[in-house]
A and B are shown apart, each in its own frame.
Chain A
Amino acid sequence: GAGVSQSPSNKVTEKGKDVELRCDPISGHTALYWYRQSLGQGLEFLIYFQGNSAPDKSGLPSDRFSAERTGGSVSTLTIQRTQQEDSAVYLCASSSRTSGRSGANVLTFGAGSRLTVL
């Protein structure tokens, strides 16, 4: 697609419920990132995919969080047994990997999924 697409744009859920957030990256972009941004805070790295594999899962805050990517394209971030502190905007970004250590990738972000846990 023309840009990074995320759904849902807004999700209100009750504490303890599971939620799934979806990211559809720019066509051809091999790298995909998930970040979380709480109100008034900076971006918190969650996980990064290169193709379908996740070389860096270091940012996932707990085992309630998981993510997968299939077909080198769409990714799903799943939060189980949601807690109020999970309320945030979840941002997905993608980039085309052009090189290894010689240069980092420019990220294109989606508009985010705003999660509110009551």
Chain B
Amino acid sequence: RKEVEQDPGPFNVPEGATVAFNCTYSNSASQSFFWYRQDCRKEPKLLMSVYSSGNEDGRFTAQLNRASQYISLLIRDSKLSDSATYLCVVAVYADGLTFGKGTHLIIQP
């Protein structure tokens, strides 16, 4: 399985701030991209898919840069509840998902 790399952090961010982090992938044949969120000692849960044109879901914006082979996640007006580990997921084919090791985000009051 091809590598997916993320900055492990932690990113310490004050509540209300905007934070962004990237994920790079090595396989140019990758076709599908996702961000998952994992809370401490919990299972990962889908946060959002990442589409080629970029997409937004409330305070969250995901973007894909195929030329440079990275995806990004931007969180606006961060909340304490956004504290979690964010996992980048890349798929070369329908069933072959590779998870990054995650970026740890801490929102501080």
Contacts and interface: CB of A to CB of B under 8 A. Distances in A.
Contacts, number: 64
Given A43-B87, A91-B43, A109-B43, A104 B97 contact: yes
B32 interface: yes
Contacts of B93: 100-101, 104
Contacts of A58: 1
B72 interface: no
A107 B46 contact: yes
Interface in B29-70: 31-32, 34, 42-46, 49
Given A41-B101, A45-B1, A58-B1, A101 B94 contact: yes
A59 to B, nearest CB: 8
A59 B91 CA distance: 15
Interface stretch (A48-56, A60-68, A70-78, A79-87): A48-56
Interface in A90-118: 91, 97, 99-112
A34 interface: no
A48 B95 contact: yes
A42 B102 contact: yes
Given A91-B43, A106-B46, A111-B42, A31 B32 contact: no
**Interface of chain A, helix or strand or loop or mixed?**
loop
Interface centre among B42, B45, B97 (most CB of A within 10 A): B97
Interface string B67-104: 00000000000000000000100010111111111100
Given A42-B101, A58-B1, A106-B34, A97 B46 contact: no
Indicate the size class of the contact surface on chain A.
20 to 34
Given A43-B44, A58-B1, A111-B42, A105 B87 contact: no
Interface of B: 1, 31-32, 34, 42-46, 49, 87, 91, 93-102
28 contacts: A31-B95, A33-B97, A41-B101, A42-B102, A43-B87, A43-B99, A45-B99, A91-B43, A91-B44, A97-B94, A101-B31, A101-B94, A102-B94, A103-B94, A104-B32, A104-B93, A104-B96, A104-B97, A106-B34, A106-B46, A107-B44, A107-B97, A108-B46, A109-B43, A109-B44, A110-B43, A111-B43, A112-B43
